Amino acid sequence: MSSSHLEPLLRAAERRAVLMVLRSHPEWTLEHLASLLAHDGDRAPVLRKLTLGELLDDPGPVARIDGGPPIDHARLQAAKRLRGPEFDQCVHEVIAEADGRPVAAKYLRARVGGPRWKLQGSLRRLIAAGRVQRSGTTSTTRYWIGVA
């Protein structure tokens, strides 16, 4: 493929990526976006050409190959900032959305983010409280909602 064919594809991909980042940060203000434009960073040319229509025309959560429900990017971003019981509740909700189907840690991390140790701590607390059950070891470990 020649570079003349590649450039439009790269521009379109960059535009989609910038839109995805903007949509995943609903807490950002127009003032914040204006400051990004004023600093004339690498993405400023793309930001300048975006329309409100594109930003508002959210295609919805992105579907995953793992067979689970789509990833809610707003929740993913919020979960990354949660700690302790609030994070545990978010993890529990994601497991509950699997409708009884056991899920792997990779499935959970795609939906709640954060470092591995944070998710492991949350899962330990949820298991100890009887809210989540597990089976398997290492890569075969699966989690599902506990029967209270």
pLDDT of residue 3: 65
SS3 letters across 47-81: HHHCCHHHHHCCCCCECCCCCCCCECHHHHHHHHH
How many other C-beta atoms lie within 10 A of the C-beta of residue 110? 17
Q: What is the pTM of this model?
A: 0.59
pLDDT of residue 58: 59
pLDDT of residue 88: 96
pLDDT of residue 61: 54
Could you tell me if 97 and 89 are in contact, meaning their C-beta atoms sit under 8 angstroms apart? no
pLDDT of residue 1: 55
pLDDT of residue 132: 96
pLDDT in tens, 67-105: 677 777 778 888 888 999 999 999 999 999 888 889 999
104 Cα distance to chain centroid: 16
CA distances from 15 to 70, 106, 122 (A): 21, 28, 35
pLDDT of residue 141: 94
Name all contacts of 105-108 with Cβ < 8 Å and 24+ positions apart: 105/141, 105/143, 106/66, 107/66, 107/68, 108/143
pLDDT in tens, 7-44: 888 888 888 888 888 877 878 888 888 888 888 778 88
* Residue 111: closest CA among 60, 70, 142: 70
pLDDT of residue 142: 95
pLDDT of residue 5: 73
Query: In angstroms, rounded to a whole number, what is the distance separating the alpha carbons of residues 16 and 31?
Result: 22
Query: In angstroms, rounded to a whole number, what is the distance separating the alpha carbons of residues 131 and 26?
Result: 31
Q: Tell me which residue has tokens 């050409």.
A: 49
92 Cα distance to chain centroid: 16
| pLDDT band, very low/low/confident/very high, at 131 (cuts 50, 70, 90) | very high
